Amino acid sequence: MRGTARPVGTPVTAELVHGALELERTPVGIRPHRLPAAALARGGDPQLAMAEAQPSGVRLVAETGARSIELTVLTTRFRFRGLPARPPGVFELVVDGRPVARSIPDTATTVTVDPATGTRETSTAEPATIVFDDLPAGRKLVEIWLPHNETVEIAGLRADAALDPAPGRRPRWLHHGSSISHGSGAEHPLGTWPAVAATAAGLDLVNLGFGGSALLDPFTARTIRDTPADLISIKIGINLVNADLMRLRAFGPAVHGFLDTIRDGHPDTPLVVVSPVHCPIHEDTPGPGAFDPAALARGELRFVATGDPAEVAAGKLTLRVVREQLARIVAERRAGDPDLHHVDGPSLYGPDDAVAHPLPDDLHPDAATHLQMGERFAGRLRAVRSPV
């Protein structure tokens, strides 16, 4: 049952939105972004533009006595032609740190992608309103986590009591990674492994995990440099391999340059470099990665590695090569940077884990693996010395 007071509109301001780096005003309302427009303009990449606008880790946070909160939104869902529809994005309500409800809008704009040609068709929709009722009485901390896998425009926010910015904050953890960090394979916003880790470790998450776009881009490094953080982690490797983006000669200097840029703004902040988790198709086979045509013919989405392992000797990257290089680079830099740390990706998801929970599409983890990775990484974060 709704509260007895009439819902009152609340402006969606930066003070209420956690986990976003910029808010865009659109004809519909407010669209959160995880990269500033100036950084995005440096990329010119539609894949990155799509990924950063999907608000993984972004949530509305307020202290309130409200018993009912309404959110009017327009979400944009992506699907592949000829394949089963992906699960719709979920809005997740947390009260005083405890998840209590989930909601899915009745309507959404849908973008249908042809995996064979890359062409897109868009079916537009009107904003929909979701309602979280029967909130506990009294003053409380309320968080509404936005879908990690859909673009969201917030057209309206209403409640039957004032929604006030939350005083104080937990230590801010800024994380950058690939689609796995973005949350591909997770079933709800709090189920992505960075959200699991942040919740377990008591951290305020800023998730810069971008599907297909953890590519050591200088503009991403500058964004991290310029964003306040108490703890930083970067998970690098899988996108460099499956995009076949660079060779070994370029990889080392690119990693050093990325870390140097971060250190320009965060000279003493604990910084964790995470190598790729286990992925059988790319362990010893270079990219590029591609859709598996045989699977597409069966109506399934799976990935394959199409490179030649013989070319590793000439400098092509595999996950095994990337792990070796990252471990070496961190070990060398730690002599002058004791706040730099290394986490081996297979300690989060390794060959033994793949037996129990194989990657469903040969590239991305399932929901149970996200939970496992998050819990394991939370332990690594607790072990990192922090000035906070």
Could you say which DSSP state residue 191 is in?
Answer: G
Residue pair 367/259 in contact (Cβ under 8 Å)? The answer is no
pTM: 0.94
Residue pair 277/239 in contact (Cβ under 8 Å)? The answer is no
Strands 163-164 and 59-64: antiparallel
Could you say which DSSP state residue 125 is in?
Answer: -
CA dihedral 164→169→175→178, nearest 10 degrees, is -30
Long-range contacts of 182-185 (CB under 8 A, 24+ apart): 182/51, 182/54, 182/56, 182/148, 182/149, 182/207, 182/209, 182/210, 182/211, 183/56, 183/148, 183/149, 183/209, 183/370, 184/149, 184/211, 184/364, 185/360, 185/364, 185/365, 185/366, 185/367, 185/369, 185/370
Give the whole-angstrom CA distance, residue 171 versus residue 150.
27
The pLDDT value recorded for residue 2 is 44
The pLDDT value recorded for residue 83 is 81
- For every one of its 388 residues, what pLDDT tens digit does the chain have, with 9 covering 90 and above? 344 456 778 999 999 999 999 999 999 999 999 999 999 999 889 899 999 999 999 999 999 999 999 999 999 998 888 888 888 999 999 999 999 999 999 999 999 988 778 888 999 999 999 999 999 999 999 999 999 999 999 999 999 999 999 987 799 999 999 999 999 999 999 999 999 999 999 999 999 999 999 999 999 999 999 999 999 999 999 999 999 999 999 999 999 999 999 999 999 999 999 999 999 999 999 999 999 999 988 988 899 999 999 999 999 999 999 999 999 999 999 999 999 999 999 999 999 999 999 999 999 999 999 999 999 999 999 888 554 4
The pLDDT value recorded for residue 161 is 96
The pLDDT value recorded for residue 156 is 96
The pLDDT value recorded for residue 80 is 84
